[in-house]
Structure formats: structure tokens, C-alpha cells
Structure 1
Amino acid sequence: MDIEKFQNIVVEKRSHCVICGKKVDASIIEFPDFPMTEIYSDELVKEKTGVVDQRFHFCTQCGHGQIANVIDVELQYGGASFYYYRTSESARGRESADFFINFVNSIVKDRHFKNIIELGCNDLYVLKSLQSRADKLIGIDPILIGRENEFSENNIIAIGDFFENVTLDEEIDMVISLDTLEHVSNPKEFVKKIVDKASNETIFFFQFPLLETLLDACRFDHIFHQHLNYFSLKSILYLLNDLGCELIDYKINSNHWGAILISFKKGKNGAKYLKNIWEITVPEILERYSVFKCSMDAASKRLSYIRGDKKIYGYGAALMLPVLSYHLGNDLSCLECVIDDDKRKEGLYYINLPVKIQTRENILDIGDSIILITAIASMNNVRQILSKLIPLNPKQIILPLNLI
């Protein structure tokens, strides 16, 4: 891996709300030298690498949250060589996808489709699950570049590219997109492009994290470079109304980042959901951020209080671990290593953390050690890790959040 490209990173700065166009107010939270995530290295990187200043803004007009500095997509998602997340290989990913599929089925019932398009299809897990529902299914995702033939099969066609670069000639009667819109620099143009191609009968299904659930749980570790957008129900309705669309229904998946699942189509009838809007204020966001910081400070102090030669292991080489390290104010060099069950990560490092990853079979003294749970982004992950750790009876288990 060329580590130099992760140093002195140039960013695109967003100065206006991407939903309503209002010039952004001053940032309400700043994250200097904030780490990139999901990037591993074969060796320890000693130079300052993979960090970019970040700022969080909130639009008081439409209720949308967004980060200011956008890192080039090629750098963040530069292909399968270092972008590890695959839906079918992640228990959490499969659970979330199955929840989404059940939501789709509850809306469309027994309807059969000519074409289903998925924007940001990852490894096509969802399209394969819907394969019998359509004559043709098209999945679009840049991580498939050069591997289109490997993933295309029968009535499924894989396109390895960003949706913004793809021209679709097919008649579209269902569009699905999981965990993609939060990554798009201009989500309004992204949705408009596919809405303009659609007919009045086309039905859309999107899933992305919801700002309200982030605030309810005080999960500010869910703000990071890859998630450019933080939709509230208010900003969702604003966007749909502006594009001439109506919200059909929505559902919250509390176990997956507090994601919202929405279905919509062309039309003008979203007023019935206005009563559900939480008029979020900047002071409310800052109050909840202070609660989050208290949790992180307590966990960081707990680590600093460990005396003597006690061994401390991390458990869970999560994609988001550099963000946890940042909020703890601890580079985690106090850990012997980070334990993970994914054998592909054995011996790897993060590009911006001095801690090695090892599989559990190589660690023989868990019962005599202290464990810091390091995979906290998903509460399901935390619960599963606890269920593995408790029978191993470590001396202590430190959970950075007081929420499971």
C-alpha cells in the first residue's frame, strides 16, 4: 500500500447545506486531525498518516447535519484491495440487509418487477435475495471494478462504477439503496438523477443512519469522514418534497446504527408525517455531545488507572476503531494487541494506530487479562462480543459506552 497518499490529504470543503442550499452556519463540533477509518496496513506505520481536520454542521432551516470536509472517494473507497466490508461476510451486515428485505416485501407484497436497480450494492447480497422478484437486477458499486463478471449471474448484472458515472437505459420500476446516501457528497443530485429516470409507478427504498437516533443514544462516534450526511426526518421530508416525491412509509432499525428505512415514490402527499418531526436545536446536540464525551473520558481514565504489569487486550478489530481511539484520547498502544475472529486481519495494523491485530486462537491468557471492547459501533456487535468473553472469564471487561 502507498502510505504517502494518506498524508497531507486535500479535501473539498462544503459551504452550503446539501439539502436546502442555505449557507452553513459556523460548525458546532470540530474534530482536528480526525482519523480515516477502514484502512489497514501490512506493517506498522510510524508517520502521522490518515488524518484530516473535520467539522460538523447543522442546518437550522431543514434539519440536516453534514460534515464540512470531503475526502476524495477514490482515496476512501479505492477498490477491493483495502476496502474490507462485505455484506455477506458480516453477520451484522446480513442482519441489516435481511431487515431491509423484509421491509421491502412488506410494502410491495407479491408484485413482480421488470428491473430492480441497487445503488451501492456491495457484494450483491440484497439483489440475490430479491432475485426471484424481477426479470433483471442491476447492481452498481465501485468496489466491483474489474470484478463485474465474477458477480454477474443469470438475471443479475454487476456494474463496477460510481452511480454518478453510469447511464441507465432500462425502464426502472424499483430502486433500492442501503447505506449509500450518507456517503454521497451531493445527495440531492444523487436522488434527483434516479428520480428523473423513474416513472410515477417506480418505488424507491433507501436506508441510511438517522440523526435522531444518533442523538437519542449520544453516539457521536457515528460521525466520521465517510458519513458525509446526517439526515433527520425533517430533512428527508424536505428533500422528497423538493424533488416532487412523497414518503410512503418508514421504519427504524435500532440494531443497525439507528438506521431509517424509507419507501417513497413520485407524488405530493407527505403531510401525514409532519407530526413526527423533532425540531432539533443546536443546544440539544451540544448537550448530548457532552454526555458522549463524559462516557469517553470515564473509559479513558479507567484505562489509565490500570497499574502494574496487567495485560490489556482489545477485542474487535472494528473498521471504526480509529474513531474510538480518537475520542478516548488514547492511541491504544497500552494494548497487547486487538483480538479479532476474522483471519484475514491477522497481523495487520491500522494506518493510524500503533496496535497489531491477532486472531483469538493465538491468545492463550485472556482469563488472566483485562479486555477493552473495541468494536462498539454496533450494539449487536457489543452484545455478541460479551457473549464470547464472559465464558472466557477475563479479570475485567471495559466497555467504553454505558449503553448496550
Structure 2
Amino acid sequence: MSEAYFHGEYITPKAISKTMNANVKFLVEKFKQHSSKDTIYLEIAPGGCDILFELAKFSPFCYSIDPSLTPSLLLKDCKNVSHVRDFFSYEKVVKQLKHKINFIIFRHLIEHICEPRKFLEDVVKLLEIEGMIYIETPNMLNIIECRRFFEIRHEHCGYYEENTLINILNDLGCELVETLHLYEGQNIGLFFKRREIPLKLEKQISLFDANLGKCFQQEIDKLESFLNAYQNIALYGAASHANSLLSYLSEKNCQKIKMAIDKDERRQGTYLQNSCIKVMKPTIENLQDIECIIMAMPLYEKVVFENELKGIFQGDIIFTSNKIIKYKQS
């Protein structure tokens, strides 16, 4: 994974939909509410830099660190942003600082960290007392409730519920000040404030047994059963969810997948990992022989269905965000 993130062909997600752009604007307003005009930000793994560009408009100075090529290219002309192309550590960042850090942001990163305790300790060490931390991550309780088995994939090292993160940040001297439930609860966003006097608080966490695996397997079996009825299938979405779904399907049904559809032009013409499934544009012509579409983008599947497929695509659609559901077009 380290080699993949450093590779120049690694595609960093960016806001290309109205839903994603609206979420960026919403988050930036939230950051403003928890900061001042003098706040110095550090964003770890800014991805497509959508958030960072907005923060730089009203912050005196911002810092960022990310190993992939995209942020270093996007940020090279930003006068008040100092970017480091590397993996995060306290030692690497502290050498670059010329300001005290008041606000640290990392979104969809902690689930990729193999030593989360060490990572969070480094984050807190960089932050001023009364400074803020914003963490955004998939909501494990929602994954379980909706049985999104394909969220369990190779690039994730851990999965978190709100109370797990509250407990560890409290132990590191940070207090929860606000929780956001994003995309109908699929993601959680947590704002913490570093306090001078450490808190003593422990929240109860959820425990699961082997029945969880059985519940996930039931959803896999349901999807396999649905797909047995088709010969020509497409995945809508070509990012990590699409690649993950492939690893849970039988070889027979994988061979029926003729293409993946994605709006991101950078992905079009490429292939899903270790497959001959080509990524193509979302056009009627490309879908004319497709009998069934699997929505492989759970955060946006309702918006995509309403705006791009409803009344246009005549085949069946399988939704994945809230258990496996098959929808027949009338």
C-alpha cells in the first residue's frame, strides 16, 4: 500500500459531484465555527485538496502532508500552504513548522493506519492546548447495521465506532465537542478539543461475535443469487468499493461484469484491479447491452440513480448502501 500511495498513477479522489461539493462547503463552515481568523490548520492526507483550498482562503497559513503525487501538484502554487510529500509522523511534520498548530484535520485516514494509537499521540503532540482535531471515518456501527460487507477490504487496517474514538482521544487529553453523522450515517465526523487537564471518561463500546460474519455472508449469498439471473452486468463506480465487491463474488459472476462506469475522467480507460473490467463513461450507448447495474458507490447511489439512471436505464439495479436490494425498472 505504501508503494501504491507514492506511485505517480495513484488516483486521489476529488469532489466531482454536487453532493460531494455540498459536503465540502458544509464542512468548511463547520471548521469556521470551531476556529478563529488566526487559526493555523494542518490537514493530513488532503487528497484532492478541496477542503484545503477553502481553508487557505481565510487562514493566515496552512500545512499539509500526503505521500501521493496529486496534492503536491495541486498545492505547488499556493502561497500560504506548506506541503510535505511524505507519510505522516510527528518527526517529519515538526521540522517543517514555523507556526503553532491550532487545528488538525484528517478525513478517511485513520482506518488506513496500522498503528492508530501512535498516530493519534503524534497528532495531539503537534496541537496547541485548546486546539481542535477533526476526524472523519466510516461508521462501523452503520456498516454492521446495513451489512455492507464490501467495506471490509485490504486497504483498511481498522474500523471505528464513535465511542472507541472518544475513549482514546479522552485518554490523550482531548474532549469531544461535536459529532456529525454524514451521508445518512455512513460516515462519522468528530470534533475534539485538546484540554490542559486530561479528562477521565470511558464510553461503552459495542462487542460482536461470530453472528456478524454470518450476517455478512447472508448478504453476499443474496447478491450472488440476484446475479445468477444475468449475463451482462455493470458496476456503477470504479473506486475502492467496486474493487472490493469483486473479491466477494464468485468467479462465475465476476466474468459477467462487462464494465465499470465512472464519471471521473482520470479513471476512464483504465481497468479494475487485477481484472479485464474496463472503466467507461456513463453513457446510454455504453449501457445498452447491460441487464443489471450494481451500485458500487454507497455514499452517492441515491443521487446517481435519480440524476443519471432513473427512467433512462431500462435494466435492473442492485443497491448496496442499506443491505442488498434489487430494484426493477418499470
Question: What's the TM-score, normalizing by structure 2?
Answer: 0.83
State the Cα distance separating 1:222 from its structure 2 match: 1.2
SS, match of residue 392 in structure 1: coil
Matches within 5 A, 1:311-350: 311-330=232-251, 332-350=254-272
Structure having greater relative contact order (Cα 8 Å, sep ≥ 6): 1
Q: Do the aligned residues in 1 keep the contact of 2:241 with 2:296 (CA within 8 Å)?
A: yes
Aligned to 1:156, which of 72, 81, 86?
81
| Percent of residue pairs identical | 20
Residues 263 and 243 of structure 1, relative CA distance in 2, 3 Å threshold = closer
Determine if the alignment matches structure 1 residue 287 to structure 2 residue 287: no
* 1:351 matched residue in structure 2: 273
What is the Cα-based RMSD across aligned positions, in Å?
Answer: 2.9
Secondary structure of the equivalent of 2:7? coil
- Tell me the TM-score normalised to structure 1 length: 0.69
Equivalence for 2:66: 141
Quote how far apart the aligned CAs of 1:334 are: 0.8
Partner of 2:312: 392
Go from structure 1 to structure 2 and tell me whether the alpha carbon gap of 1:363 and 1:119 turns closer, same or farther (over 3 Å shift). Answer: same
Distance 1:193 1:365, change over 3 A: closer
Q: CA deviation at 1:135?
A: 0.9
| 2:11/2:266 contact within 8 Å kept | no
Q: In structure 2, what is the equivalent of residue 52 of structure 1?
A: none
In the alignment, structure 2 segments of 5+ residues that lack a partner are none
Q: 2:25 aligns with which of 98, 102, 112?
A: 98
CA deviation map 1:20-69 (0-9, x unaligned): xxxxxxxxxxxxxxxxxxxxxxxxxxxxxxxxxxxxxxxxxxxxxxxxxx
2:167 and 2:275 map into 1 onto residues whose CA distance is: 40
- Paired AA for residue 198 in structure 2: K
1:324 deviates by: 0.8
Correspondence for 1:261: 190
> What residue identity is the alignment partner of 2:250?
G
1:370 Cα deviation after fit = 0.9
Task: Pick which of 255-264 and 321-330 moved more.
Answer: 255-264
Structure 1 counterpart SS, 2:6: coil
Ranges in structure 1 where 5+ consecutive residues have no aligned partner = 1-72
Distance 1:177 1:364 in 2: 37
The reply on whether 1:376 has 2:310 as its aligned counterpart is no
Deviation at 1:141, TM superposition (A): 1.0
- Residue 297 (1) aligns with residue 225 (2): no
Per-residue CA deviation, residues 351-401 of structure 1 (Å, 9 max, x unaligned), is: 3223222223483562x64122242342x2354135422222413223354
2:237–2:295 contact (8 Å) kept in structure 1: yes
